[in-house]
Structures are given as C-alpha cells and as structure tokens.
Amino acid sequence: MEHGWSQGRDMLTARDVLVIDEAGMVGTRQMERVLSHAADAGAKVVLVGDSSAY
C-alpha cells in the first residue's frame, strides 16, 4: 500500500476507511507513516487486534 502511495496510486480520500488487522504487529515507524498519510487525506483508520494474543 505504501509503495502505491509513493507512486501516486491507490491514494486515500476523506471517503475511505482503512482497517488494519493485527495492528500490534505493525512497527511504530510504519504505523506513523500510515496514520499520517490517512490524517492528511482525511481518511478514517480502524485498528484491530487480539487482546488475548499479547
């Protein structure tokens, strides 16, 4: 997804909802990039995880 964004493809808009499953497995730097991109686009982000897995 990030690769597409860097090439101007699959851009998020204010009408998008990005669902990130297993959010706890995403590194902090990558999460920051994704959340910043979504915020800049006005998109919503839903983080999903399994509390019993930690």
> Looking at residue 10, what is its pLDDT?
73
CB-count burial class (<10 Å; 0-12, 13-18, 19+) for 12: buried
Assess contact for 12 and 33: CB atoms under 8 A.
no
Assess contact for 46 and 18: CB atoms under 8 A.
yes
Nearest to 52 by CA among 27, 30, 24, 26: 24
Domain that holds residue 37: 2-53
Number of domains in the chain: 1
1-54 tens-digit pLDDT: 765 566 666 789 999 999 999 999 999 999 999 999 999 999 999 999 887 765
